[in-house]
Amino acid sequence: MDTVTGKNKNKKLSHAEISQNRANLEGLSELKRMPVVVLLNSIRSAYNVGSVFRTSDGAMIEKLYLCGYTTSPENKDVLKTALGSDKSIPWEYVKEAEGVISSYKDRGYKIVALELTDTSVPYYKISSDDFPFLLIIGNEITGVSQNLLDMCDFSIEIPQFGIKQSLNVAVAYGIALFEFRKNWDLKN
């Protein structure tokens, strides 16, 4: 990238300037949502659920399902972290993830888990042919359970290069989701 030069190089935008280019709640119906539905299964941390809402707003997904013992967006710590994105992302609590997965499978969505498995592929291999799909995110410690993995078409992983075995779940979700959005926008 060339170095930016001139008087106004890298001039920070104000909140007002940024807001001009953002949609608001009234304009929600006009936003182009990426055809991705996300299912959180038993995410315990309110901070992680709130962060997932905020990231989902950034990439504008279709819908978020909260299953198992996932902390509710009515929890005040979720609301604090979500910063209002629980209003822009349609969400629903359904205890049993299996029913949600089956209904989307019937509607022609591919079913994808963000989980390291013996057949998982790098997250950036998802192509425009894979939309629409439902993405399953599992618990912070135990990941996506095997019974849900058995319902998946494939699983994706984020290749890692350090000494740890995993990323924070909300960070991993962001990495994967924005890769999908980038690839989807390039094709649409």
Between 70 and 81, CB nearer to its own copies: 81
| Closest to 175 (Cα-Cα) out of 99, 120, 114, 107 | 114
Interaction with its own copies in 84-143: which residues (CB under 8 A)?
84-85, 87-89, 110, 113, 115-121, 124-127, 129-130, 143
Closest contact distance (angstroms) between CB of 58 and its own copies is: 4
Report 144-173 residues binding its own copies (CB under 8 A).
Answer: 144, 146, 149-150, 152-155, 158-165, 167-168, 170-173
Residue 20 interacting with its own copies (CB under 8 A): no
Residues 47-86 that bind its own copies (CB under 8 A): 47, 51, 54-60, 81, 83-85
For the CB of residue 105, give the shortest distance to its own copies in the complex, in Å: 11
Question: Is the torsion defined by CA of 110, 113, 117, 120 positive or negative?
Answer: positive
SS3 of 99, please? helix
Structure tokens, 76: 């005040």
Q: Among 85, 177, 71, which Cα is nearest to 133's?
A: 177
Backbone angles phi, psi at 34, to 5 degrees: -75, 135
